[in-house]
Structure 1
Amino acid sequence: MPTDVRCLVELDETSALARVTGVLDRAGVGAVRDTLLARLWERPGPVIADLSGLRVPDPEVRSVFDELHRVAGDWPAAGLLVVDPVGRWPGAAVSVCASLGEAQAALVAAPLAAVLSTELPPAVEAAREARALVTDASLRWGVPELAEAACIAITEMVNNVVAHARTPMTVRVAPRDHCLQLAVRDRSPRQPAFAGVAPVNSAGGRGLLLIDTVARRWGTTPLPDGKVVWCVLHTDDETAGQH
């Protein structure tokens, strides 16, 4: 971080802990968000953000942690816990613990969910390998009804990287509450553009529409050195579609 930033994020490479210290103001929000987003992706499983040594003069700035909580909720095998002994987060969406010990106990009580991941090159064969991964995941985790939708979504996500980002990618999938969560992380800052239904005479532009059709929700999250495109598939949607 630049030397004039008064808020620091210290990462413990051996655990889920990230200590946020100093004074967090509007000028420092972006750097904190980027650092914690990168951490949430790099290390599957919940991240503990210890805010015991943090001052937040502007209450609105606290919303960055709710934003990170929402992002983590849609990424495969991700989550965020906040440690705040002072109790400054009434009504927060993010889970708040009164002590580091309480947060660590919460992690023990809810161990890391299963997750499958693979590294793929930006080549046409990548989509086939990604489909094999999500098919295996849907069978392994007892949601075979999601296999077809997962293959459609992951094909479009991977092909988007091959056609536009042209960087190596990480494909990740995990189960959560009758859902499959899929994500593809690449190294390009270029964000996918979704403009709704493509004209019938259009030669392309339907990839994101297909994801939008099969997924309960989807989106893209910028990272300091690229982005994550993700989607959530729910078994209830497949059941409803059969009637």
Structure 2
Amino acid sequence: MRRDQSPFLLANPRRVHAAPWETREPDQAVTVVGDFDTALTEVELHGRWDPHLKASAAHVLRTCLVGQPAGIIADLHDLADPGGESAPLWCAAHTWGAHTPSLVPVVVCLPTAAPLAALITCRAARWNLPVYASLPEARAALRSRAPRTDRLTLHLAPDIDALPLVTQTIGEACAAWHMLTLHRTACAVLTELVANAIEHAGTRIDVAVTRRPSGLHLAVQDHDPRLPHLAGAVPGDPGDSERHGYGLRLVHTSVTAWGALPTRTGKIVWAVLTAKSAGERNRRRPSTIPGTTAPRRS
């Protein structure tokens, strides 16, 4: 799998991680699918379990947890693991999710007759790892157990005139949730993500602003499967080089983490902001984040 074909991207202010879950066997794969409405992430494993697939799956799970989804479903229907050797990883992932700032539940989905299901079930008292026979059952269970969260959503046409509504929504959210220290950074980041979707996707756009224990989670969905990337300099024109990719570079340096993952109809680009990330950004460049106007688009 080439770098530009990665299933999803994770980034933080210091480093961009392209998908490292390449495997040595052609039938092995780890794929990720996000869902805007439920905020769930599904991780599907394909092929024979071995150390290479284990390493890829572990990295993908940790990466997904950084995005603070409402829950993660590990779909193991196409995983060949007759000896149940992968069981400790799913137990570990469940523990990792329980120790994230947003307490992300991790569940497993696989046939009840599979040896791995029997192994997990017989150790359920110690591992406390939920196992479901089908994806609909796992989705329903996670939705029913999800705690109430404060979440504002917008459904926008791909029109630059929608940006004032985006900034208004961020202002209302930060005021209502007593997160005014995040307002300037969140406004800049979300308007950049929406502006990018308007310019590059040109489809209907869904926006979600969600309160998290440590700050804010921002998500922008469009119906273009192409994932964003940090562009390099444009040769031959210093002015264009400075402008090219400005928006994502601003996002990249402003947030605790950001990334993109595919959906069944396009993609979601998300960002996580905490009080610490906003404070560092304001101390570094206090004059570069506009409060209510749309920044330049990448």
Partner of 1:41: 35
- The 8 Å contact of residues 219 and 229 in structure 1, kept in 2 or not, is answered as yes
Measured against aligned partners, the alpha-carbon deviations of 1:119-152 in whole angstroms (never above 9, x if no partner) come to: 1110012222222222222222221111111110
1:235 counterpart = 2:272: no
TM-score by length of 1: 0.67
Structure 1, unmatched stretches of 5+, are 1-24
CA distance in 1, matches of 2:224, 2:268: 10
Partner of 2:239: 201
DSSP-derived class of the 1:208 partner: helix
- The 8 Å contact of residues 196 and 209 in structure 1, kept in 2 or not, is answered as no
CA distance in 2, matches of 1:83, 1:165: 29
Partner of 1:61: 53
1:219 counterpart = 2:259: yes
Identity over the aligned pairs, expressed in percent? 26
1:118 counterpart = 2:157: no
Structure with more contact order per residue of length (Cα contacts < 8 Å, sep ≥ 6): 2
Partner of 1:127: 163
Q: Larger radius of gyration, structure 1 or 2?
A: 2
Aligned residues: 210
Shift of 1:68: 4.7
Shift of 1:158: 0.8
Corresponding residue to 1:78 among 70, 79, 87: 70
Shift of 1:160: 0.8
Partner of 2:204: 168
Partner of 1:22: none
CA distance in 2, matches of 1:195, 1:110: 37
CA distance in 2, matches of 1:200, 1:49: 42
DSSP-derived class of the 1:117 partner: strand
Higher alpha-carbon deviation: 186-195 or 140-149: 186-195
Partner of 1:27: 27
CA distance in 2, matches of 1:152, 1:227: 20
Measured against aligned partners, the alpha-carbon deviations of 1:206-239 in whole angstroms (never above 9, x if no partner) come to: 1111111211222222334322211111101233
CA distance in 1, matches of 2:148, 2:70: 9
CA distance in 2, matches of 1:94, 1:178: 21
